[in-house]
Amino acid sequence: MTWMITGGAGYVGAHVALAMREAGEDVVVLDDLSSGVAGRLPADLPLVRGSYLDREVLRRAFDEHGVTGVVHCAAKKQVGESVEQPVAYYEANVHGLAVLLEEVAKAGIGRFLFSSSAAVYGTPPSDDVITEATPCAPMSPYGETKLAGEWLVRAVGRAHGVATACLRYFNIAGAAEPALADTGVFNIIPLYFDALTRGEGPRIFGDDYPTPDGTCVRDYIHVVDLAQAHLAAARRLSRPGASGDLTVNLGSGTGVSVREMADMIAEVSGHAEPAAAVVERRPGDPARSVASYALAERELGWTPRLDLRAMVSSAWEGWVLQHPHMRAGG
């Protein structure tokens, strides 16, 4: 069996590809390298340079590498950008997925694993942990495309006998090694690293929420744990007689406030944190968003193992690799 990882040269995709390969799975990566980095992958790991929207590229890759399962990590992923460019997000995340699934079905590929997102939930209706039964009400085009993607994956699975799974990521952080770290400055940890590098304090969007310290609380999962969940899901889909329609949350089950995150970053980096700038709340930000991973534990035998310090420490090592002058605290 050979698994194709779309977006496998990206931050998440590379971790998934390497985890699956290290576990003995045959892997080929498909990536157009628009945001992925070929250097994240070993030279002997097959890399097909192309887009999952290109039918000819898909057909050749499926045939040449004997692909029997697909892990679809490629997507456009920035919530704010999706508000400004909804057509581009629907084109990449929904139309592109439709192209990929159609070719998967035509090729008789029997397993499909979809990278979804906690953005499908929008603002949870209560402060309870979010389960897979929590109503989905996405608040951005990005979240909408992920929810529509889940619907499409399940529909194709039922129609064509493809075993499917949808994995709803919460906030991803950390790195297996410095060279695999997230190079984008979009999520809270690299955003805070970037502020430190520029000698500025972090921005806190609202400090008057009904939480212990007034700042938003979020669930963070180490990317290494996330990759192991993909491996577990892929192996579940590979069992004889495996059926589809599995949808699970991937989070740590632990809430971390924005201020707690800022304190941890200052402690790990050794850089005194300049005073944080409290600015207005962002529209739609829930006070608390924390996952229940009980279903993933039951269905996949998976539990997260790495804590917040491991996430921040490994992410910092990756940041320092790109910004060597930040090595010494100050």
Q: Which residues are catalytic?
A: 142
Nearest 5°: CA angle at 225, between 37 and 244?
Answer: 95
The enclosing H or E element of 278 equals strand 277-279
Residues in the chain: 330
Nearest 5°: CA angle at 17, between 148 and 115?
Answer: 15
Q: DSSP label at 291? A: B
The enclosing H or E element of 148 equals helix 141-160
Would you tell me how many other CB atoms lie within 10 Å of the CB of residue 301? 10
How far is CA 184 from its chain centroid?
A: 13
Burial 141-170 (b: 16+ CB within 10 A, else e): bbbbbbbbbbebbbebbeebebbbbbbbbb
Q: How many CA atoms lie within 13 A of 157 on its CB side?
A: 23
Would you tell me how many other CB atoms lie within 10 Å of the CB of residue 322? 13
List the one residue out of 134, 95, 127 whose CA is nearest residue 248.
Answer: 134
Q: How many CA atoms lie within 13 A of 286 on its CB side?
A: 22
Residue with tokens 């496998």: 8
CA dihedral 164, 42, 40, 15 (to 10 degrees): 30
